[in-house]
Structure 1
Amino acid sequence: MTTTPVDLVVHSARLLATVDAQRRELSGGYVAINDGFVVAIGVGTAPAARVSIDASDCLVTPGLINTHHHLYQNLTRAFPPMTNSALFGWLRTLYPLWRALDEESAHVSAWVGLAELALSGCTTSTDHLYVHPRGGGDLLSAEIAAARDLGFRFHPTRGSMSLSEKDGGLPPDDVVQDHDDILAASQRAVERHHDRSHGAMVRIALAPCSPFSVTKQLMIDSAALAERLDVRLHTHFAENDEDDAYSVATFGCRPTQYLEDVGWASSRTWLAHCVKPNDDEITR
């Protein structure tokens, strides 16, 4: 009986770290892949394959997963005026540059950033794209196109900012959006790009930027929209002392309480940074 070859086999690994429930590590192991899915792992004779990669003297692991990124910021990496600045000063220095983002720059920065991740062993990434300058075009679709060019599994977020300096926020007026426009764009992004199939290469989450750059109502309405569309939620949270102080001064509570108040304390949510919860908040 002839067995149809699988698409790819990586074989003869010095060590194959399965990261399965038993934490098995297989000397001389192989991984067989077909239609984009791992179909077999083991030792000994590997299945026949259309493409074989000899992994002798290599460590083979599952691809790494990156749960937070700002790919567009590759364009301003190591910009001298903002180096060594605290968070709020860093942002105020860079907002004027980010207002020039357009589809081309979003595509290029995503391509560079995702290629860099792939070279480091990452095969799945999200991205928190929250700057959508007026007239910049469809930046999220440009990022997704770059990921497809690379064959990279990409689960980006439709980020947003709605609270400008004049209203007590941090960003300038021309990089924030209207509340209703954000919700409409978020729904369009999910309807256009979100793939609910198993192993999907593209999925979308909703990601108001942070408590200091969106209104409380946008946090509440984004949570409701995510529930209705059955997608996930993401935001920056409790990332330094400035963030904590802003929350107490503006909302009269610490960030964790604010998160609960706006309906984000659920399994649908994952958070970036989150380095400042106190002991009580960690146990809640």
Structure 2
Amino acid sequence: MSILIKNIDVLTQNEGREFLRGVDIFINGNKIERIGKNLKEKAEFRVDGRGKLAMPGLINTHTHLAMTLFRGYADDMAFWEAWPKKVWPKERKLNGEDVYWGSLLGCIEMIRSGTTCFADMYFFMEETARAVERSGMRANLAYGMIDLGDAEKRKRELRKGESFVRKFSGRRIQCSFAPHAPYTCSKELLLKAKELAEKYDVLIQIHLAETRKEVYDSVKKFGKRPAEYLEHLGFLSKRVIAAHCVWLTKREVKILGERGVKVSYNPVSNMKLATGGAAPIPQMLESNVCVTFGTDGAVSNNSLNMLETMKLGVLLQKFHLWNAEVLNAQQALDFATRNGADALRINAGRIEEGRLADLFLIDIKAPNMIPFNPSNLVYSSNPSNISEVIIDGKLVMEEGRVVSLDEEKVLEKAQRVAERFILG
């Protein structure tokens, strides 16, 4: 497929963070081939870019896609009340078909809000992979492993995780290993996951230091805080994407920086679950930690909207630290694009010749975007402003309509699935 976008403004997110006005973008296959004025290339599809801006697709580095089915199910409850008593019991009733439709629902929501790639850990991941393939999205997927110290369960979890990695890694889908968290995984599982990730040269996803209780329990059980414990095991490396990282000391932040760990900052989920603090993002940046954005699952966020996540991620830091200058819109854009791409090891996150054609077009003539300033993309935009989304060189949303899926059918089916298992 080839696409020629004419007369478009471009937020490149390249090294110089250039802003281009009135240029053309020629996409050939799955790559951006040329950017310039008055391009004459012939293309199968032409898109009029007047009044719009192209920017790199947003990258969500932590979610549980099928949990869209739980949207609104555990609202206004504390984590340690909601999950053991409500969420986990219902999750045990899910089947593969449920996960498939919940994943398709999540793909539609992400496409509509400008997300082109995401990282996910859950179960029935073959069904999530099937949904990703059908939707046209890009993803890094992992089977979430939990053993709770049970040796037989550990063997089963590792077999499932390894089988998934061997079977599903491909052009738009990369796979990784995902030991759920230090408090749900034995030392043996953590170290074996690390060994397997090195064997297959893939990433590791893990939850880390999300709540105070997690830290308290870690100190009580291991004599060390969660990040210190993982460092003690030799688990931390540049392969690791650690979600949340709210309750970290300066020493732990320094360890993450030294080991090259990537952090997925999930501000909306953290606020909704009242984790009681904010991830120490300024300290992470000082320690050269690659910070990215995640939404977490819809049960602890209610949406997969990365535009909202960028805004609230900045505002939370300003509010928490009493400092209006502590984090800015450009840094938020970097977290959501360049850093996310680097963390997931994909050639995207910028609009440059030779990069993957993962981008979206946003209406900058809408009332909420005028007068236009690039910071509007963080502080003012919403999904209704997005008109086109291109992933891997293919139009998956055109003129505000998702074209890679039968949206009406997916929404109807997901509603029925959610009603059945939530009420059942």
Quickly name the TM-score band, shorter chain normalised.
Answer: 0.7 to 0.9
Number of the residue aligned with 2:126: 141
Asked if residue 52 in structure 1 is aligned to residue 37 in structure 2, the reply is no
Aligned partner of residue 5 in structure 2, secondary structure: strand
Unaligned runs of 5+ in 1: 1-5, 133-138, 168-175
Residue 41 of structure 1 and its aligned partner are, at CA, apart by 1.7
Alpha-carbon spacing, 1:47–1:22, altered in 2? closer, same or farther (3 Å): farther
Residue 84 of structure 1 and its aligned partner are, at CA, apart by 2.1
Q: Could you tell me whether the CA contact under 8 Å between 2:142 and 2:164 is conserved in 1?
A: no
Could you list the structure 1 runs, at least 4 aligned residues long, displaced by more than 6 angstroms after superposition. Answer: none
Q: Could you tell me whether the CA contact under 8 Å between 1:193 and 1:204 is conserved in 2?
A: yes
Number of the residue aligned with 1:136: none
CA distance in 2, matches of 1:260, 1:91: 28
Number of the residue aligned with 1:67: 61
Residue 86 of structure 1 and its aligned partner are, at CA, apart by 2.2
Q: Could you tell me whether the CA contact under 8 Å between 1:11 and 1:55 is conserved in 2?
A: yes
CA distance in 2, matches of 1:8, 1:29: 14
Match of 1:184 among 137, 159, 163: 159
Q: Could you tell me whether the CA contact under 8 Å between 1:194 and 1:203 is conserved in 2?
A: yes
Number of the residue aligned with 1:8: 3
Aligned partner of residue 173 in structure 2, secondary structure: coil
Q: Could you tell me whether the CA contact under 8 Å between 1:32 and 1:46 is conserved in 2?
A: no
Q: Which amino acid letter does the alignment assign opposite residue 91 of structure 1?
A: W
Q: Note the alpha carbon deviations across 1:139-165, whole angstroms, 9 max, x for none.
A: 11111111111111121112111118x
Alpha-carbon spacing, 1:233–1:52, altered in 2? closer, same or farther (3 Å): same
Match of 2:189 among 211, 218, 224: 218
Alpha-carbon spacing, 1:49–1:99, altered in 2? closer, same or farther (3 Å): same
CA distance in 1, matches of 2:152, 2:240: 22
Q: Could you tell me whether the CA contact under 8 Å between 1:8 and 1:49 is conserved in 2?
A: yes
Number of the residue aligned with 2:352: none
Further displaced range: 26-35 or 203-212: 26-35
Residue 264 of structure 1 and its aligned partner are, at CA, apart by 2.2
Aligned residues: CA RMSD: 1.7
Asked if residue 259 in structure 1 is aligned to residue 240 in structure 2, the reply is no
Residue 261 of structure 1 and its aligned partner are, at CA, apart by 2.3
CA distance in 2, matches of 1:206, 1:145: 18
Give the length in aligned residue pairs: 254
CA distance in 2, matches of 1:37, 1:45: 16
Aligned partner of residue 156 in structure 1, secondary structure: strand
Q: Note the alpha carbon deviations across 1:116-150, whole angstroms, 9 max, x for none.
A: 11111111111111xx4xxxxxx111111111111
Aligned partner of residue 62 in structure 2, secondary structure: coil
What percentage of residue pairs aligned between the two structures are identical?
28
Number of the residue aligned with 1:207: 178
Unaligned runs of 5+ in 2: 256-424
Provide the TM-score with structure 2 as the length reference: 0.58
CA distance in 2, matches of 1:177, 1:68: 28
Show the 5 A alignment for 1:1-284.
Answer: 7-13=2-8, 15-79=9-73, 82-92=74-84, 93-129=86-122, 132=123, 139-163=124-148, 178-195=153-170, 200-284=171-255
Q: Which has the higher contact order (CA 8 A, sep 6+)?
A: 2
Residue 46 of structure 1 and its aligned partner are, at CA, apart by 5.0
